[in-house]
Amino acid sequence: AQSVTQPDARVTVSEGASLQLRCKYSYSGTPYLFWYVQYPRQGLQLLLKYYSGDPVVQGVNGFEAEFSKSNSSFHLRKASVHWSDSAVYFCVLGNSAGNKLTFGIGTRVLVRP
């Protein structure tokens, strides 16, 4: 069985502040990990993905994520947020066979001006 936990349902930050969104996964094999973002009234869009190699992966719009096998985590970060980063962020886990995806419940981010 595989699962994804996003422990923070909502995060509020001020514009210009840093942001970290937490993601923990449970899976016995080699994971494929993704972060997607959902802007208001839109579908999900890929921010970044990790398969192997450098545990820090860069994504779009200044986002990056760090994979930790020892902690079973894949946290998302951004150094300085903009009001347009207000959205829902989903952590997604794929299995090694490439035939199952598990979505976290999402973290809603509100950036205050």
Partner 1 sequence: EAAVTQSPRNKVTVTGGNVTLSCRQTNSHNYMYWYRQDTGHGLRLIHYSYGAGNLQIGDVPDGYKATRTTQEDFFLLLELASPSQTSLYFCASSASRGRDEQYFGPGTRLTVL
Q: How far is the CB of 103 from partner 1 (least distance, A)?
A: 4
Which is nearer to partner 1, 80 or 96 (by Cβ)? Answer: 96
Query: What's 61's DSSP letter?
Result: G
105 torsion bin: left (phi>0), alpha (psi -120 to 50), beta (else): alpha
Gap between the Cα atoms of 99 and 88, Å rounded = 25
State the binding string over 42-61 for partner 1 (x if CB under 8 A, else -): xxxxx--x-x----------
Minimum distance from CB of 6 to partner 1 (Å)? 8
CA–CA gap between residue 42 and residue 22 (Å, rounded): 23
Q: Which residues bind partner 1 (CB under 8 A)?
A: 32, 34, 41-46, 49, 51, 90, 94-95, 97-101, 103-106
